[in-house]
Amino acid sequence: MSRPRGRFVRWLVFISIFIGLTGLAAVNRDRLTAPWRPTREAKVDDAVKPPIQEAKVLKLSEQARKNLGLVSKAARPQAYWRTIQIPGVIADRPGRSDRGVTSPAVGVVAAVYAFPGDTVRPGDRLFALRLFSEYLQNTQAELFKATSETQLIGEEKIRIEALSKTGTVPGSKMIELNQQLRRQQSAIQGYRQDLLTRGLNPEQIDGVANGKFVASIDVLAPPLLPASPNATDPGNEKLIDDASQSLAYEVQELKVELGQQVQAGQALSVLANHHSLYITGHAFKQDAPFLEQGAQKGWPIQVEFAEDDHEKWPALNQKFRIRHLANSIDVANRTFDFFIPLTNQSRSYRQDEQTFVVWRFRPGQRVRLHVPVEELKDVLVLPAAAVVREGPEAYVFRQNGDLFNRLPVQVLHEDRLNVVIANDGSVLPGLYLAQNAAASLNRVLKAQAASGMRADVHVHADGTTHAAH
């Protein structure tokens, strides 16, 4: 009976000790886990640790600047025209740059004297036509008959005039002869004029009047166009700028072949003189107010010529202004055209005793037109490559020796070539700004910042560090 009671007492003591140790551990939990928890001071130190400042200055060696082709210029306030870009093309000027040559009568092409690429003067032979025109043959016969009849009437008049003085022949006979003579002279004048328009020269017509009929005629280069009183509509200019010859045309195209029969008025060839051309712009209807304003006020238009080797030609010293706007819209493209006069440049070379011409601008050549819309005054204008963007921010780089400071700026306008910056004090006039490679400079700046090296800090010999000064 005593043994079970002793076992019960031992279990009771054991449970009491276990409960006491558990309570003691709960009371002293913070003290027991302290070695494994971070201290409050460490958290405070982490909170007050200063943030890394963004780099704004980079340093480039002279070799690096040469590798980038870096150019710096002083910033100067100026006026700038905001423009819109419109595509265009160089085109022939109707009635000025091209001239068609037609057949004066029905005939067969017996000879061709001028071929595509050849240069000719006014009056040079282009073709020889063997005449098949019945009308032309009849006109020649009528001219010969009228000329012979005039001679007979003149002889009869001399004979009758002597008899009329003696009263043998009445005076009414002389009046009748004079009327017949005037009718024949009028007919002769008409026939001669008709033959002139058919391509016969005065010497040939004189031969026809004497019975020497013309079986073939030469088709000649036309005379020069007269200059118009309007300064924008000149006549034919010199075909070649660097030559003193009186060349006026270049054979652009042959319309017939040797031995081909042609009708009166049929085109034989096309002659060209591309000294006076048009720049034709293709604009949409919403651009019409800007173009009308530019035409009324005579604002100059900047022209970019595609595939133009300007280094091998003289300077193009001419101002481009809109002459007129088309009043119809192209149905397919929904655009309307406007026209700008262009004075071309040319030079020549000789080969096989022939002179050939080379034009600087050719019909079909593409152009880009910058039409002025608004004038921005007191602004800073930089090349497009001088500004770099990062989201809404825009930056330029100011050069100070080997150091380049990145400055934020406000962009008012930009196009493919230029960027217009507000003159708001962010960039002081006279500061030297990098004119190109801004994107490359920004990448170098970020690379230096990522490496932990600041370009505006250097180390002295005593080990101290200082900011750039």
Q: Is-contact 436 397, C-beta < 8 A? A: no
CA distance 303 to 127: 41
Q: Is-contact 249 273, C-beta < 8 A? A: yes
Q: Cα–chain-centroid distance for residue 61?
A: 40
Tell me the CB-side half-sphere exposure of residue 272, using CA atoms within 13 A. 22
Q: pLDDT tens for residues 162-200?
A: 666 666 667 677 778 888 888 888 999 898 898 888 778
Tens digits of pLDDT across the chain (469 residues): 455 566 666 766 667 776 766 666 665 665 655 555 555 444 444 444 444 456 678 888 889 889 989 999 999 999 998 889 999 999 999 888 899 999 988 899 999 999 999 999 888 999 999 988 788 888 888 988 988 888 888 888 777 776 666 666 676 777 788 888 888 889 998 988 988 887 788 888 888 888 888 888 889 998 887 765 554 555 556 676 555 457 789 999 999 999 999 998 899 999 999 999 999 999 999 999 999 999 999 999 999 998 888 888 998 889 999 999 999 999 998 999 999 999 999 888 888 888 888 999 999 999 999 999 988 999 999 999 999 999 899 999 999 988 999 999 999 998 888 999 999 988 988 999 999 999 999 998 888 777 765 555 443 434 343 445 4
What is the DSSP-derived secondary structure letter of residue 76?
Answer: -
Choose among 343, 329, 400: nearest CA to 59.
400
**DSSP letters for 140-181:** HHHHHHHHHHHHHHHHHHHHHHHHHHHTSS-HHHHHHHHHHH
Which phi and psi angles does 128 have, rounded to 5°? -120, 130
Choose among 271, 270, 266: nearest CA to 133.
266
83 CB neighbour count, 10 Å cutoff: 21
Choose among 224, 269, 245: nearest CA to 102.
269
- pTM attached to this predicted model: 0.66
